Amino acid sequence: MSWDFELVAGPYGGTTEGPVWDGETVIFTHIPASRLLRYDPRTGETTEYFTGVNHVNGLCFDVAGNLFGCQQGGRRIVRFEKDGQTVTSLPHTLDGKRHNNPNDLVVDRSGRIWFTDPYSGIGDSGPQELDHMSVLRLDPAGGGDYELNRATFDVTRPNGILISRDQKTLYVAQSDYGLDRVRELRAYPTSMRTGRWASMCRCTPLAWTTGAHSGAWMA
C-alpha cells in the first residue's frame, strides 16, 4: 500500500499534537506556543482556536461534542467550552496529590475520561508528587462533577491511549525508555477488574486511531 502525503499546515516551530476532527475542520495543538489551531480543508486556512492553553497535548471529543484536552503545564484535564473562550478545569488531585503531566486521553460512550499521566516537568509545572505514572480515569459523578481514579497499576510510563469501537478494550502505549524496560502496546479490558493485560506488539506508537470496522492504525 502506498500513500501520498500533503503538507496542509505549518511547519511550526516545535511539536504539534492531538489532531481531532469536528466534522468540518481539524483542531490540533502547538505545544510550545500553548495554543490550539484549526485547519479548514475547504479554504486551506489555519487559524487560532484557543490561546494560552498551558502546553495542551492530546485532544478528544465526547459523544456530545465537548472538546477535552491534556493540559500538561497545568497538570490537569480541561474542557474547552463552545463559547471559544472558557477553559474549565476538571479534578486533578489523587489522594491529595497533584497528578503528573497528562499526555493523551480518550472519552468513552459513558463519558468516562481515560488519560495517560507520565511526568515530564514541562514548563513551570513543578516536581512530581505521585510515586507512579499510570492511566487515570475521570468518572462522571452527576451534576457535571467528576471523580478521579487510578485505572492501571503496572505501566511505568504510559503515552498514547485508545479505546476500541465496541468499548471493551483499552489500548495503552507503555513507552518507558529505560534500558531495562519493555516498550509495547498493551490491551486492557475496560472493566479493569483484574488488571490483566495482553501485549499486542513490541513497539512505541505515538498516535493512533481505530479502523472503520476493527483494529487500530498507529504511528
CB atoms within 10 A of CB 70: 28
Question: Which secondary-structure segment (H or E) carries 58?
Answer: strand 56-61
Query: In the numeric block, which cell numbers belong to residue 147?
Result: 471523580
**Which strands sit side by side in the sheet containing 35-40, from one edge to the other?**
16-21, 26-30, 35-40, 45-51
CB proximity list for 4: less than 8 A, separation 6 or greater? none
Q: What are the pLDDT tens digits along the chain (219 aa)?
A: 788 999 999 899 899 999 999 999 999 999 999 999 999 999 999 999 999 999 999 999 999 999 999 999 999 999 999 888 899 999 999 999 999 999 999 999 999 999 999 999 998 999 999 999 999 999 999 998 999 999 999 899 999 999 999 999 999 999 887 777 777 888 999 986 544 544 444 445 454 454 444 444 444
d(CA 87, CA 80): 5
Is residue 216 within 8 Å of residue 204, measured between CB atoms? no
97 contact partners, CB below 8 Å, separation of at least 6: 129, 130
Backbone angles phi, psi at 173, to 5 degrees: -90, 115
pTM over 0.85: yes
The full set of domains in the chain, from first to last, is 54-218 (2.120.10.30)
Query: How many angstroms separate the Cα of 40 from the Cα of each of 8, 27, 43, 64, 203?
Result: 9, 9, 6, 21, 33
**Is-contact 201 165, C-beta < 8 A?**
no
